[in-house]
Structure 1
Amino acid sequence: MQFVLIGFSDFPNLQGFLHAVFSVVYIIILVGNFLIILTTSMDPALQKPMYFFLANFSSLEICYVSVTVPRILFNLEKQDRSISLMSCATQLCFFLIFGTTECLLLTVMSYDRYVAICNPLQYPLVMNPKRCTQMVAVSWLGGIPVQIGQTYQIFSIPFCYSNQIDHFFCDIPPILKLAGGDTSVHELSVYLVVSMVVAFLFILVLTSYSKIIATILGLPTTKGRAKAFSTCSSHLLVVVLFYGSATVTYLRPKSRHSPGTDKVFSLFYAIVISMLNPLIYSLRNKEVTAAMRKLIFQIRDLCRHRSLLFF
């Protein structure tokens, strides 16, 4: 009725250090993404579809890491690595749902950049507030039925060999290793779902960016090409990092899976990328950087004003 998450028990002398590292990383992710949400919501200059999608993406990143990191911190602090079957299934289900939402949101954001660069005159009409809201709603809700079904299918397998998951959270590859009997059908279903979701959406993103790059190269001035590319380079970098690590994790043959490499790749796409995303979007976008700096100064001035009133 329960599993044991082996996690980082191979490093007994580093438990306190790892807890501190994950705590700092989690705080950076929360603060960075919250600042982006606050900045894009409050600054009038950022009331555009591009930043509406960015605010939703930052909200998703907070949800995404909150599925795994608090549990990691709990295990490192309490040294209690047991997790119930239901809790493990719930964690996996939400992790898969938010992962699917990220794929869908990245696709929507690439379509937004495609319309803005390739059809700028039609952009206000195509990317109207109602359509943007609908696309975001589909992104958040679209993966729920598929991933609930996949989670149910995975946890309907009898687990006979061991209850020890050699991972730091409940993920598909380490859970399937504990299954008894022939798991080829379940592995095939995982490949099919990942292929349908990840591969299909990735092809859509590549199609959008192939047309975007062709349009940018056709611009008459170097300044125009640089400006157009700067508006989508951050998103393209995030797409490459996320899809690259997720593809390596889920589409590798079972014979090439090992606990060490699975942990490294999972750590990268589940946590590290979420920490990098606010930095990528803020540092490579002048509008976001300027608005965030303005917001920080406003908060600082407000705190100073309140402290003077207090004293």
Structure 2
Amino acid sequence: YFFLSNLSFLDLCFTTSCVPQMLVHLWGPHKTISFLGCAVQLFIFLLLGTTECVLLTVMAFDRYVAVCQPLHYATIVHPRLCRQLAAVAWVMGLVQSIVQTPPTLRLPFCPHRQIDDFVCQVPSLIRLSCGDTTFNGIQLAVSSVVFLVVPLALILISYGAIARAVLRISSATAWRKALGTCSSHLAVVTLLYS
């Protein structure tokens, strides 16, 4: 439940960082956000989004060990390792945000500064720029591969191994237990990546 509590806290922070401003834009007469507000929102969005992708990968590893190595689960996934893996997820999110936010905010923006999106995101801000965005585009592509594609690949590899292990199980009760262990995580991953 340690990883689940981290994910719950992360999603709570995600909701409170983006939804209030989005509701103001949807229902209020003023559809603007200050530069500082956009900067804070971008930083938090990158921090939490990256952390969520890495944390879901860590959770896939946890599910893999639970299903494929059930007798060794307590020795492999001990509380210290759980804390370390969660810390790695949060630190990677923080580093990603620190690395990507400043170059994006230093772009020269055109006089027409309308973001056609609900939140300040890197692609939206790159489209607003009047200057050379080559570096930012490369940085966005690299970070997308590192923090979206690689975690998804690792999750799929974990679930491939889990599927192989489950198909070898002959007991219907064990099947249900294995699927129950993975179904909620797989639903969250599907919602995030679709």
Same fold (TM over 0.5): yes
Match of 1:101 among 41, 51, 63: 51
1:170 paired with 2:128, answer: no
Match of 2:34 among 84, 96, 104: 84
**For 1:163, what is the secondary structure of its paired residue?**
coil
Q: Residues 188-267 of structure 1 correspond to what in structure 2 (within 5 A)?
A: 188-244=138-194
**For 2:73, what is the secondary structure of its paired residue?**
helix
Aligned-pair RMSD on alpha carbons? 1.5
- After the TM superposition, which parts of structure 1 deviate over 4 Å for at least 4 consecutive aligned residues? none
The corresponding residue for 1:136 is: 86
d(CA) in 1 for partners of 2:18, 2:74: 38
Q: Which amino acid aligns with 2:43?
A: C
TM-score, with length taken from structure 2: 0.94
Q: Residues 11-90 of structure 1 correspond to what in structure 2 (within 5 A)?
A: 51-90=1-40
Q: Which amino acid aligns with 2:71?
A: L
- Superposition deviation, residue 123 in structure 1: 0.4
- Deviation sequence 1:6-47 (CA, Å, 0-9, x none): xxxxxxxxxxxxxxxxxxxxxxxxxxxxxxxxxxxxxxxxxx
Question: What's the % identity of the aligned pairs?
Answer: 41
d(CA) in 2 for partners of 1:146, 1:233: 29
1:156 paired with 2:109, answer: no
- Superposition deviation, residue 202 in structure 1: 1.1
Structure 1, unpaired ranges of 5+? 1-50, 245-311
- Superposition deviation, residue 154 in structure 1: 0.8
- Superposition deviation, residue 182 in structure 1: 3.0
d(CA) in 1 for partners of 2:168, 2:33: 56
d(CA) in 2 for partners of 1:125, 1:72: 45
Match of 1:110 among 60, 64, 75: 60
Structure 2, unpaired ranges of 5+? none
- Deviation sequence 1:43-82 (CA, Å, 0-9, x none): xxxxxxxx22111111110001111111123334542222
- Deviation sequence 1:244-277 (CA, Å, 0-9, x none): 3xxxxxxxxxxxxxxxxxxxxxxxxxxxxxxxxx
Answer whether contact 2:46 2:96 (CA < 8 A) is retained.
Answer: no
d(CA) in 2 for partners of 1:146, 1:223: 42
- Superposition deviation, residue 139 in structure 1: 1.5
d(CA) in 2 for partners of 1:162, 1:121: 61
1:145 paired with 2:82, answer: no
Q: Which amino acid aligns with 1:57?
A: L
- Deviation sequence 1:171-201 (CA, Å, 0-9, x none): 1222111100332331121011110111111
- Deviation sequence 1:140-180 (CA, Å, 0-9, x none): 22221222211111111100241111122211222111100
**For 2:33, what is the secondary structure of its paired residue?**
strand
The corresponding residue for 1:35 is: none
Larger Rg, first or second structure (1 or 2): 1
- Deviation sequence 1:207-244 (CA, Å, 0-9, x none): 11110010000012222112211210111121122123
Answer whether contact 2:50 2:96 (CA < 8 A) is retained.
Answer: no
The corresponding residue for 1:182 is: 132
